[in-house]
């Protein structure tokens, strides 16, 4: 139900694929080496791959895998490189300077490098309404390290009692919970902005409120939303029941960036699963919720691993 905003940068439809895995014995770097990721987006030109490779190799780094995408009939270049390096020989500050010089050479639209072992985790806030399944899955994913993020707070328009699983979990781990009662006239967006001002992106874990264009522009960072794949045919408060009664055979989930156009932002991840006449309403809903959890979790990981790049106005490249 939330609206999608700007798009992170995705790398996905591989037109030209450079996979250097075959020349390496293993993707696991020696213990003395550190893993890095670099994504690049610029106008297409001769020699970009050579310059990227040289930038890493000249400092003693080694490319483990690289993906390149050049859209057909469009002069744009997208790439994502996994590499290992010795942080003693290639300090993090020097790495930033080297990739900046490369981006200036090609007048890059986007050039981002991350070193997960050295860089701070992304800070996120999670917005949720009454349904718990996506929120609980995110909390557990954060707890066991599946999601490389730090959750600064959970914000909800639904009151949860002190003895609920969510509240007990948040209190045990020191994560603030903010209950903001919303109405049609007051979405409490000013207060939400105050609570999320130091975050890198937001996650709407089945947050059943529409974020305004003013909110999205004021926040300025990406917002990721999850919803069931039963839209647009089955709208309203009980879409799963409607779909079940209609006898659908495929259900799904879609994770996308929030923009001012409702549920129409660039897609990051989608998943589907078969259902049949053997499913009752309970198993139908369970399958739908499981898809939503898996889809959202994978989208967040892809975003944090720099696999998502904006492509054209309403698309993404996901490497």
Placement of tokens 């078969």 in the chain: 274
- Scanning the chain, the segments in alpha helix (DSSP H) are 48-57, 92-105, 133-143, 165-173, 189-195, 213-219, 239-246, 281-304
Tokens of residue 294, six digits: 């898996």
Residues 215 and 233: beta-carbon distance below 8 Å: no
- Dihedral sign of CA atoms 290, 142, 299, 238 in order: positive
Residues 290 and 229: beta-carbon distance below 8 Å: no
Residues 268 and 303: beta-carbon distance below 8 Å: yes
Nearest to 291 by CA among 275, 312, 308: 275
Does residue 59 have a cis bond before it (omega within 30 degrees)? Answer: no
The residue annotated as part of the active site, out of 86, 98, 150, 263, is 263
Residues 298 and 264: beta-carbon distance below 8 Å: no
Contacts of 274 by beta carbon, 8 Å cutoff, 6+ apart: 249, 250
44 is catalytic: no
Contacts of 42 by beta carbon, 8 Å cutoff, 6+ apart: 48, 76, 77, 103, 106, 107, 108, 109, 110, 111
Question: Quick one: DSSP state of residue 22?
Answer: G
Q: What φ, ψ does residue 121 adopt, rounded to 5°?
A: -70, 155
Please give the distance of CA 266 from its chain centroid, rounded to a whole number: 11
- Scanning 81-160, the segments in alpha helix (DSSP H) are 92-105, 133-143
**Active-site residues: which are they?**
263
């Amino acid at each position: 139900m939330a609206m999608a905003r700007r798009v992170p940068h995705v790398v996905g439809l591989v037109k030209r694929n450079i996979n250097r895995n075959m020349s390496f014995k293993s993707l696991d770097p020696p213990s003395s080496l550190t893993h890095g990721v670099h994504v690049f987006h610029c106008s297409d030109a001769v020699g970009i791959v050579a310059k990227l490779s040289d930038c890493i190799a000249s400092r003693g780094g080694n490319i483990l895998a690289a993906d390149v995408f050049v859209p057909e009939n469009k002069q744009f270049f997208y790439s994502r490189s996994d590499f290992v390096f010795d942080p003693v020989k290639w300090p993090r500050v020097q790495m930033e300077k080297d990739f900046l010089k490369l981006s200036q050479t090609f007048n890059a639209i986007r050039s981002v490098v991350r070193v997960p072992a050295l860089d701070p985790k992304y800070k996120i806030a999670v917005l949720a309404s009454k349904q718990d399944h996506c929120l609980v899955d995110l909390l557990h994913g954060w707890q066991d390290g599946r999601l490389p993020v730090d959750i600064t707070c959970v914000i909800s328009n639904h009151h949860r009692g002190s003895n609920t699983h969510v509240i007990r979990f948040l209190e045990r781990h020191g994560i603030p919970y903010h209950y903001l009662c919303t109405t049609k006239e007051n979405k409490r967006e000013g207060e939400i902005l105050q609570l999320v001002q130091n975050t890198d992106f937001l996650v709407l874990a089945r947050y059943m409120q529409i974020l305004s264009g003013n909110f999205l522009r004021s926040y300025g960072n990406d917002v990721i939303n999850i919803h069931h794949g039963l839209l647009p045919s089955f709208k309203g408060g009980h879409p799963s029941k409607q779909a079940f009664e209609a006898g659908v055979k495929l259900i799904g989930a879609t994770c996308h960036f929030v923009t001012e156009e409702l549920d129409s932002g660039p897609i990051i991840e989608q998943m589907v699963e078969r259902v049949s006449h053997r499913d009752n309403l309970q198993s139908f809903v369970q399958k739908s919720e499981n898809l939503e959890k898996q889809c959202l979790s994978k989208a967040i990981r892809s975003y944090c691993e720099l696999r998502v790049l904006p492509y054209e106005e309403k698309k993404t490249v996901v490497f």
